[in-house]
Amino acid sequence: MDRRSRSPPSLFDDQEFGGGARGGADERHVKEELVREHARVSEDAVSGWEKAEKEAASLRDQLEATARKNSSLEDRVVQLDGALKECLRQLRLSRDQQEERLQDALGDRADQWRSEKFSLEIRILELEAQLETAEKKIARRPLLDALEMENNDLRLKILSLAEQLHLQTVESMKKVSALEAESRRLQALARKPSSGDLTWEIDLMDDFLEMERLVASPGRETRNGSPEAELRDLLERTAELEEKAETAETEKERLEVTQRQLEEGERKAEDLWSQLQMTGDSRAQELLEKVRRLEKNIEEERALSAELTGKCQRLEEELSRKRPESELRRATAAAGKLHDCQKTIASISDFSCCFESHIGSMV
3-state secondary structure of 194: coil
Name the pLDDT band for 288 (thresholds 50, 70, 90): low
3-state secondary structure of 239: helix
**% of the chain residues with pLDDT over 90:** 0
Q: Kindly tell me the sign of the dihedral angle through the C-alpha atoms of 109, 110, 113, 119.
A: negative
Residue type for 60, please? R
Which of the pair, 120 or 9, is modelled with greater confidence? 120
pLDDT tens figures, 252-267: 677 667 667 666 766 7
Residue 111 DSSP label: H
Q: What's the rounded Cα separation, in Å, for the pair 45 and 356?
A: 11
The reported pLDDT for the residue numbered 1 is 38
The reported pLDDT for the residue numbered 191 is 62
The gap between the terminal CA atoms of the chain, to the nearest Å, is 10
Mean pLDDT of the chain: 68
Give the domain ranges of the chain: 2-92+301-362, 121-191+205-294
pLDDT tens figures, 41-75: 888 888 888 888 888 888 888 888 888 888 888 88
* Other C-beta atoms lying within 10 Å of the C-beta of residue 96: 10
Residue 218 DSSP label: T
* Other C-beta atoms lying within 10 Å of the C-beta of residue 134: 20
Considering only CA atoms, which of 167, 211, 168 is closest in space to residue 186? 211
The reported pLDDT for the residue numbered 339 is 57
Residue type for 32, please? E
Answer yes or no: pTM beyond 0.85.
Answer: no
pLDDT tens figures, 291-349: 567 667 666 766 766 676 666 566 666 655 655 555 556 555 555 655 565 565 555 55
